[in-house]
């Protein structure tokens, strides 16, 4: 605590300006009930003393901390950075502060964090990519803390969320490939244990194939994960099967870049020999070579939207609707137009 300097309190200001604390408080909070003269006097005293209001004391009194807690997985992708930026910016703009907790790879210590956040009386909670396992959801519900989920949801508990429709997006990305003339399309998908971003994207992919009368080849489906290494492994396995394919749809940009990397290593020209489309549109998509065609999630806006919903929830105590955000296919240079559309 600010070392040995003791900060001036409202009492000090009151004394110095010969008024009561009540009056000082009124002035601080822009209420009315004082003359212009006293206002000046008090302001002056505050300046001289370097008075700053003590938010803690205020919070105790008004039972509101203007703080929102954010739970997120500890993953080094710009994915969460963008979401977080959206959250922070919009929160700050509305005079909320943000306490961040990262939940390790396995969200092990999540309930501890929830506990801490609860004790700290956060006004609300935002959870990024909540684990499919519903225990955390249950805890959140029990805590009665207003919460909104970003890029995740619970099928069991009713918590408002903001995300894109992964099924649709994957369907659309796959269709895009098909429209460009691709027929042998592989996928490196997320794990099927992941009901949020794993299964729907795979299903969207599959359905697009079916709807276009393209037979599904087991060999061309690799269930891996969302990391660079998953892309590498997936692509290697794909190559090893000997099955022919002209395009691959990857579960994430990192994954796509991993695939891209082994393509390079094997002398495959992208997009001439092989097309790749990613997912997310994180920074790396524009930084890869060639720049990655990918389906974009409005990450920043998702973050922003989530706090908007949360604030509405907090202040009006009203139920808010979940929101499906729009996705978009960003055409860059990793898919070849085999036939013109």
For DNA, give the closer residue by CB, 51 or 90: 51
Q: Tell me the closest approach of the beta carbon of residue 19 to a second copy, in angstroms.
A: 22
Judged by beta carbon distances under 5 to 8 A according to partner kind, the member of DNA, a second copy, none in contact with residue 286 is a second copy
Task: List the alpha helices (DSSP H) in 187-271.
Answer: 199-211, 228-241, 253-265
Q: Which is nearer to a second copy, 166 or 254 (CB)?
A: 254
Q: Of the two residues 238 and 314, which places its CB atom closer to a second copy in the complex? A: 314
In the complex, the residues that contact DNA under the rule CB under 7 A are 6-7, 9-11, 18-23, 25-26, 28-29, 31-35, 37-38, 51-54, 57-58, 60-63
Closer by beta carbon to DNA, 49 or else 320: 49
Distance CA 295, CA 37 (A): 61
Residue 268 site contact among DNA, a second copy, none (CB < 5 to 8 Å, cut-off depends on kind):
none
Q: Could you say which of DNA, a second copy, none residue 34 binds, taking C-beta under 5 to 8 angstroms by partner kind?
A: DNA
Please name which of 76, 209, 68, 86 lies closest in space to residue 146, comparing C-alpha atoms: 68
Q: Which does 254 bind (CB under 5 to 8 A by kind): a second copy, DNA, none?
A: a second copy
Residues 227 and 190 sit within 8 Å (Cβ to Cβ): no
Instruction: Give the residue with the Cβ less far from DNA, 47 or 243.
Output: 47
Please give the sequence-ordered ranges of beta strands (E in DSSP) within the chain, or none if there are none. 67-72, 97-102, 124-128, 147-150, 161-164, 185-189, 221-223, 247-250, 275-280, 293-296, 323-325, 328-330
Give phi and psi for 243, each to the nearest 5: -65, 140
In the complex with DNA, the residue whose CB is nearer, 20 or 92, is 20
Judged by beta carbon distances under 5 to 8 A according to partner kind, the member of DNA, a second copy, none in contact with residue 78 is a second copy
Measured distance CA(96)–CA(98) in Å, rounded: 7
Q: Tell me which residue has tokens 């490939």.
A: 177
Chosen from DNA, a second copy, none, partner binding at 77 (C-beta under 5 to 8 Å by type) = a second copy
29 binding partner (options a second copy, DNA, none; Cβ < 5 to 8 Å by kind) = DNA
* CA-based torsion, 222, 226, 227, 231: positive or negative: positive
Instruction: Please state, in angstroms and rounded to a whole number, the distance separating the CA atoms of residues 274 and 156.
Output: 40
Smallest separation, CB 2 to DNA (Å):
11
Q: Strands of 247-250's sheet, edge to edge?
A: 221-223, 185-189, 247-250, 275-280, 293-296, 328-330
Pick between residue 50 and residue 242 the one whose CB is nearest to DNA: 50
Which positions touch a second copy (CB under 8 A)?
1-5, 52-57, 59-60, 63-65, 67, 74, 76-78, 80-82, 84-85, 88-89, 92, 97-102, 109, 113, 115-116, 118-121, 123, 143-146, 228, 254, 257-258, 260-261, 264-265, 283-284, 286-290, 314, 317
């Amino acid at each position: 605590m600010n070392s040995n300097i003791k900060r001036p309190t409202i009492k000090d200001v009151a004394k110095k300006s010969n008024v009561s604390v009540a009056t000082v408080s009124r002035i601080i909070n822009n209420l009315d009930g004082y003359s212009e003269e006293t206002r000046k006097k008090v302001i002056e005293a505050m300046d001289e003393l370097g008075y700053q209001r003590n938010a803690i004391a205020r919070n105790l009194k008004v039972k509101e901390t203007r703080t929102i807690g954010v739970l997120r997985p500890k993953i080094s992708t710009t994915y969460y950075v963008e979401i977080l930026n959206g959250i922070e910016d919009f929160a700050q703009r509305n005079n909320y502060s943000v306490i961040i907790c990262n939940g390790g790879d396995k969200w092990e210590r999540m309930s501890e964090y929830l506990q801490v956040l609860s004790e700290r009386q956060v006004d609300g909670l935002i959870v990024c990519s909540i684990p499919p396992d519903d225990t955390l959801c249950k805890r959140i519900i029990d805590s009665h803390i207003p919460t909104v989920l970003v890029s995740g949801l619970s099928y069991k508990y009713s918590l408002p969320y903001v995300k894109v429709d992964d099924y649709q997006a994957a369907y659309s990305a796959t269709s895009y490939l098909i429209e460009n003339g691709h027929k042998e399309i592989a996928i490196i998908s997320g794990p099927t244990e992941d009901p949020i971003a794993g299964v729907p994207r795979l299903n969207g992919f599959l359905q697009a194939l079916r709807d276009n009368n393209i037979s599904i080849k087991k060999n061309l489906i690799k269930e891996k994960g969302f990391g660079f290494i998953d892309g590498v492994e997936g692509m290697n396995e794909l190559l090893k099967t000997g099955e022919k394919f002209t395009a691959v749809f990857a579960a994430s940009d990192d994954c796509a870049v991993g695939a891209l990397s082994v393509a390079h290593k094997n002398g495959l020209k992208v997009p001439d020999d092989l097309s790749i489309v990613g997912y997310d549109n994180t920074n790396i998509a524009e930084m890869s070579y060639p720049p990655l065609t990918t389906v974009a999630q409005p990450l920043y806006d998702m973050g922003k939207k989530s706090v908007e919903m949360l604030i509405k929830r907090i202040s009006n105590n009203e139920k808010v609707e979940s929101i499906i955000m729009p996705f978009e296919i960003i055409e860059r240079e990793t898919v070849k137009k085999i036939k013109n559309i």
